[in-house]
Amino acid sequence: MTGWVTVAGLGPGDAAQITPEVSDALAEATDVVGYIPYVARIAPRAGLRLHPSDNRAETDRARHALDMAAQGLRVVIVSSGDPGVFAMASALFEVLEERPDRDADIRVLPGITAMLAAAARAGAPLGHDFCAINLSDNLKPFAIIERRLRHAARGDFAMAFYNPRSASRPDGFARVLDILRAECEPQRLMVFARAVSTPDEDLRIVSLAQATPDMADMRTVVLVGNRATRRVGRWVYTPRSARAAGV
């Protein structure tokens, strides 16, 4: 029996947003590794070992997965959303660089990433060119975040922010809002989408002028429209045409 590692995206929370190819990989697995709340989403069954681990243990988790695969086990690394968007896929390849088994049997299976689940609930706020920015400053200095925010605003991209705010860095998101206010008009539409597709789901559509730091936490994805983003009925959307939007 040849072992393998599959990095799989579970989507934002609802099992109805897990693709069949991810479900199939989980059905074939002997071992599942991942951050505690993501592994908690996997139904136990005979023959399946669950290995939940703490946040920020990404590289240890990747090593563990590759070690088990080298022993012939079939390992799924679970990520929330999509594994390639601020999640486990990059951590796995970082670890692969250190190792002799670079030809290990690895697959990456995409998932519904949080910004697209949130956008779908709100309408189509990312319907034109957009950026995805991780606001966590664990892995990059805030100066890089600021530079990217300014380029995104000056290019009139819509934006999606992951990890906007945590207890360990309560002030960062306030600084982000200050930068947006310096670059964008006060009427700019924003969506605060918390825990999309779970029982805790909460969606707020506000203007940049109305936005406050406490509207976001680590379960929130924040979307920012471009200059043309509009409301219609209960929806928010970005028109397809830059010409029609008068840009």
Report the nearest approach of its own copies to the CB of residue 18 (Å): 7
Site for its own copies contains 241 (CB under 8 A): yes
Contacts of 26 (CB under 8 A, 6+ apart): 8, 32, 42, 76
Q: Please pick, from the candidates 10, 85, 180, 184, the single residue that binds its own copies as defined by CB under 8 A.
A: 85
The single residue among 35, 86, 173, 192 that binds its own copies, judged by CB under 8 A, is 86
- Using DSSP, how many helices (H) and how many strands (E) does the chain show? 7, 13
Q: How far is CA 211 from CA 11, 150, 214, in A?
A: 27, 18, 9
Minimum distance from residue 102 beta carbon to its own copies (Å): 4
For residue 187, how far is the Cα from the chain centroid?
26
The nearer residue to its own copies, 50 or 131, going by C-beta atoms, is: 131
Instruction: Round to whole Å and give the CA distance between 4 and 75.
Output: 6
Instruction: Please identify which residue in 42, 73, 96, 218 interacts with its own copies, judged by CB under 8 A.
Output: 96
Q: Rounded to the nearest whole angstrom, what is the least distance from the CB of residue 85 to its own copies in the complex? A: 6
Q: What is the footprint of its own copies within residues 126-165 (CB under 8 A)? A: 126-134, 139-141, 144, 147-148, 150-152, 154-157
Tokens, residue 209: 């002028």
Query: 180-239: which residues touch its own copies (CB under 8 A)?
Result: 230, 232-235, 237-239
Q: Which residues of 207-236 are buried (b: 16+ CB within 10 A; e: fewer)?
A: ebeebebebbbebbbbbbbbbbbeeeeeeb
Which of the residues 26 through 55 are near its own copies (CB under 8 A)?
none
